[in-house]
A and B are shown apart, each in its own frame.
Chain A
Amino acid sequence: EIVLTQSPGTLSLSPGERATLSCRASQSVSSSYLAWYQQKPGQVPRLLIYGAFSRATGIPDRFSGSGSGTDFTLTISRLEPEDFAVYYCHQYGSSSWTFGQGTKVEIK
């Protein structure tokens, strides 16, 4: 099973700042089958990025994904108030899919 480790656990930033979230895999993720989700309290997760860098429908271009192999990054170029949430990475490149433990982006 591929273990995904997200860092940092919590990111304290102000609106307008840049957020950089990391997701490191214990083995190479096949074909960059890596996705990112956003979850706000009491809400269902929302797909942001799939295939490591493709934005899902309706996702603002301030969200971008990058990386390959074992190291992936989600960048939020300028934080909006609605972006404060928990973010999860997810790999679906092996027969056993896994999620990272999440990174909470909180208001500083």
Chain B
Amino acid sequence: EVQLVESGGGLVKPGGSLRLSCAASGFTFSNAWMSWVRQAPGKGLEWVGCIKTKTDDGTTEYAAPVKGRFTISRDDSKTTLYLQMNSLNTEDTAVYYCTTSRVHAGYFQNWGQGTLVTVSS
């Protein structure tokens, strides 16, 4: 069974930092493109960014609102995905989902349950 379990969410002040983790199991993590998608309260889905596999040079891509502030990384030995978030602002308040296609593709076959990040003073 595929499992994606996010952790690390919480309350942070504007300008602060937070690191999210996503523990993956049930599929070959090293072969999968992984992404983060967020959803602000009562709003739609927003792609945050992705990281491809090592065979695809481990390329990362980011949405414009987070580029330069967020960094996605992966540890294939631990089957874990990370999202380092710096210079947080109130617009970053959202549930953050870890997602994957489980293959070299950009659609999202599997989703974690999400972790809530609240940016507030």
Contact = CB atoms under 8 A, between A and B. Distances in A.
A binds B: yes
Nearest to B101: A50
B109 interface: yes
Contacts, number: 61
B46 interface: yes
Contact of B108 (A35, A95, A98, A101): A35
A97 B61 contact: yes
Contacts of A47: 107-109
B44 A99 contact: yes
Sort chain B's interface into a size bin.
Answer: 20 to 34
A105 to B, nearest CB: 15
B47 A37 contact: no
A42 to B, nearest CB: 11
Q: Using C-beta atoms within 8 Å of the partner chain, give the interface range for chain A.
A: 20 to 34
Contact of A50 (B61, B63, B97, B107): B107
Interface string A27-61: 00000010101010000111100110000110000
A57 B109 CA distance: 9
A97 B59 CA distance: 14
B105 A44 contact: no
A56 B111 contact: no
B44 A90 contact: no
Contacts of B45: 37, 39, 45, 88, 90, 99, 102
Interface of B: 35, 44-47, 50, 61-64, 97, 101, 105-109, 111-114
Given A44-B113, A90-B45, 6 more contacts: A44-B114, A45-B45, A86-B44, A90-B47, A97-B63, A97-B106
